[in-house]
Amino acid sequence: MTSLKKFLTYFTLLIVLAIAGTASAKSAELTGIDVFDLDNETLRIEISYEGKRLDSDNISTDLRSGILRVELDNALPGRISRISGTQIQSGARNFVEKIIANETQPKHTSVQIHLNSAVENDYVKVSIERANRSEKKSERIVLDVKKYSAQDDWNWGETDNDNAYQRIIVLDPGHGGSDAGAIGPTGVTEKSVSLAVSLKAQKLLTADGYKVIMTRTTDIDVAAPGVPDSTELQARVNKAPPDADIFISVHCNAFSNGTANGMETYHAPTAIKGSRLARLLNEELFRLGGLNNRGVKAARFFVMTHSKCPASLIELGFITNPREEKLLASDAYQQKLAQAITNAVNRYFNQGGSD
- Contact yes or no for 98/86 (Cβ under 8 A): no
**x/- string (CB under 5 A) for Zn ion, residues 156-195?**
------------------x------x--------------
* Closer residue to Zn ion (CB): 74 or 194: 194
* Closer residue to Zn ion (CB): 251 or 336: 251
Residue 77 CB, nearest approach to Zn ion (Å)? 40
Phi, psi (degrees; rounded to nearest 5) at 351: -110, 140
Nearest to Zn ion by Cβ — which residue? Answer: 251
User: Facing residues of 67 across strands?
Assistant: 64, 114
* Closer residue to Zn ion (CB): 251 or 347: 251
Query: What residues between 235 and 264 interact with Zn ion by CB under 5 A?
Result: 251
**x/- string (CB under 5 A) for Zn ion, residues 50-69?**
--------------------
**Contact residues for 140 (Cβ-Cβ < 8 A; gap 6+):** 46, 47, 48, 49, 128, 129
Q: What is the dihedral of CA 337, 341, 342, 343, to 10 degrees?
A: 100
Residue 179 CB, nearest approach to Zn ion (Å)? 9
The Cα 301–Cα 266 span in angstroms is 9
* Closer residue to Zn ion (CB): 74 or 189: 189
CA 102 to each of CA 1, 69, 70, 75, 161: distance values in angstroms, whole numbers, following the listed order: 37, 11, 11, 10, 46
**x/- string (CB under 5 A) for Zn ion, residues 120-159?**
----------------------------------------
3-state class (DSSP) for residue 42: strand
Phi, psi (degrees; rounded to nearest 5) at 225: -60, 140
Residue 190 CB, nearest approach to Zn ion (Å)? 5
Question: Does the protein bind Zn ion through residue 279 (CB under 5 A)?
Answer: no
3-state class (DSSP) for residue 254: coil
Residue 206 CB, nearest approach to Zn ion (Å)? 24
Residue 229 CB, nearest approach to Zn ion (Å)? 11
Binding-site size, Zn ion (CB under 5 A): 3
Length of the chain (residues): 355
* Closer residue to Zn ion (CB): 129 or 179: 179
* Closer residue to Zn ion (CB): 195 or 212: 195
Torsion sign across C-alpha atoms 263, 267, 270, 273: negative
Residue 246 CB, nearest approach to Zn ion (Å)? 19
129 by Cβ neighbours in 10 Å (0-12 / 13-18 / 19+) ranks as middle
Residues found near Zn ion in the complex (CB under 5 A): 174, 181, 251
